[in-house]
Amino acid sequence: MTIIAVDGPAASGKGTIARALACHYGLPCLDTGMLYRAVGLSVLKAGGDPDQEADALGACDFDESMLDDPALRSEAVGSLASRVSVHQSVRQSLIKRQRDFATQPGGAILDGRDIGTVIAPDADAKIFVTASVHIRAQRRYSDALAHGGHPDMDSLIADIQARDTRDMSRDHAPLRTADGADLLDTSDLSIEAAIQRAIALVDAQLEGRRKV
């Protein structure tokens, strides 16, 4: 069984890299952020407050079909996900689902913000993917334009900075580089170069484990 943990902040490229690694190693992949997005969207639909722990916890029992809702990919829902994720009870509620996915026969790849630190601290390989705030905002800007949106760069930068602050300063499972994780800064890398670098880092970690 091979478990690969891919962590990092919003728009760092971790999702793209995780999917590419899944293709390369032939493993199933879970974007754990979608679980928190589903909780955030559920709270919104129920007319609740994502900053209220009881409302957020009550939304954790969402139907699996919600994970296919295109609305989960929106910037607004991404912000909601960051807000509900600060609640310990919400994180605890979603842990089993993530660990069950990670430990399935053969293993898996998971990307998120606490995979290498909380969900799978004994993962066979860990990567922390990052990029500068400006680069991450530019990626969000380009993506929004491509989908017919009318993004505002200043607002995107402010949102990313706010999400980083929430994710890194929360009391439970804060965003940080896991012990033993390799740092991958994608700021100046093309998608192809970032993927190749990620594969090289994972290969080296897996080889190192085989030699132990």
Separation of alpha carbons 131 and 200, rounded Å: 19
Burial of 70 (0-12, 13-18, 19+ CB in 10 A): exposed
pLDDT given at position 147: 81
Single-letter amino acid, residue 23: C
Provide the CATH number for the domain formed by 2-203 in this structure.
3.40.50.300
DSSP assigned state of 144: H
pLDDT given at position 164: 93
DSSP assigned state of 181: P
- Cα separation of the two ends of the chain: 16
Domain boundaries, the chain: 2-203
Tell whether the model's pLDDT for residue 74 goes beyond 90. no
pTM: 0.90
Tell whether the model's pLDDT for residue 212 goes beyond 80. no
CA distances from residue 64 to 41, 97, 128 in whole angstroms, order as listed: 13, 11, 28
Q: What is the mean pLDDT of residues 56-73?
A: 92
Tell whether the model's pLDDT for residue 189 goes beyond 80. yes
Q: What percentage of the chain carries pLDDT values higher than 90?
A: 84
Separation of alpha carbons 203 and 201, rounded Å: 6
pLDDT given at position 186: 97
Lowest mean pLDDT among 60-64, 109-113, 119-123, 203-207: 60-64
pLDDT given at position 84: 95
Tell whether the model's pLDDT for residue 92 goes beyond 80. yes
Q: What is the mean pLDDT of residues 18-44?
A: 96
Q: Among all chains, which residue has been given the structure tokens 């974007």?
A: 31
Tell whether the model's pLDDT for residue 64 goes beyond 90. no
pLDDT given at position 152: 94
pLDDT given at position 76: 87
